[in-house]
Structures are given as structure tokens and as C-alpha cells.
Amino acid sequence: MQGTTHVNALPEIAVLAIPEDERVWVPQAPDVWFRPLMLNRMAGQWCNLLRVRKSGILSRHLHPNPVHGFVLRGRWKYFEHAWMAETGSYVFEPPGEIHTLWVPEDVEEMITFFNITGSMIYLDENQRHIGYEDVFTKIDMCRAHYAACGLGADYVDQFIR
């Protein structure tokens, strides 16, 4: 039986999480990409896969809101904690915690699902603000990448709510 949808409701999103087309991955830094799954402008939220194919420090940052993560492939940790997030691990990041994401040298590829609301505030080693990301900067990054790689700037629209 097919369900019904309220006339004013937005359509659901059902996509292959790890895409067959490499162009869907949006470059974020050398050997670092994200794959948008849902970009919620009303709540300031985004869900994406983060893919890293390098070892070392990825970023030092904090979030003003909670973050949920689920490791699909590989492993990583925060220098500020003893635990290691490995394939199958769920990670909860409380608001305001500063953490430094690090990928071990023997990890060829790390892919983690993240559900983020609000922003990521990037910090230097002295905890000074050096940049940020939010749902709007993520949309801008997607539009520019998809236009440049031939998918079309409007390719990102399917993920926007």
C-alpha cells in the first residue's frame, strides 16, 4: 500500500549513501570530502558522510549543539579522549566540547555519518576562532562543486529541505 503525504509536505529523501558517481563527493580539503545527504535550512542542520583518505589531524573545532556520528568505515579519534571510534561505533559530541579529529596512519579510508545542527567552529591551537561551517556554507560548497564537475549547480537541490 502506498502512503499518502500532506499536500504541503516536502518529499522524502532516499539516496544511495555511498554514491557510485565520485562527483557527488564534495571536496573539503586535500584528501577530505563530504557527501551531502540532507541539508535542512529551517533547522540549520545537515547530515553528511565525511570521507578522509589521509592520516593526521583533520581539524580542531567545537559545536554549539550536539552532534551524532556513526563510523561506517575505518577509525578515528579525538586527541582529547582515550577512545577510538571504529567501524560500527556511535559517537555523541556534547555542545561546546573542543576536540581535535585525528585519523591514524594505517587507515586508508575513513567514512563517518554525521548529523550536525548549528555550526562547526574551527579553532587554532590557542582556541581562537579561525573559521566556521553551517548548512548555508555547505550548500554553497555543493553548488560550486556540482557546477564545476558537470552535475549542475542545482544537483544539490535534491538534498535541501
Nearest-angstrom CA–CA distance, 16 and 133: 24
With a CB cutoff of 8 Å and minimum separation 6, the contacts of 12 are none
Q: Identify the residue with better confidence: 10 or 14.
A: 14
Residue appearing with cell numbers 566556521: 132
What pLDDT shows up at residue 6?
77
- Which secondary structure element, helix H or strand E, spans residue 146, and what is its range? helix 135-149
Least confident of 1-15, 94-108, 113-127: 1-15
pTM for the model = 0.92
For the record, the C-alpha cell of 133 comes out as 561551517
Q: What is the pLDDT of residues 24-74, one digit of tens each?
A: 999 999 999 999 999 999 999 999 999 999 999 999 999 999 999 999 999
Q: 22-159 domain in CATH 2.60.120.10?
A: yes
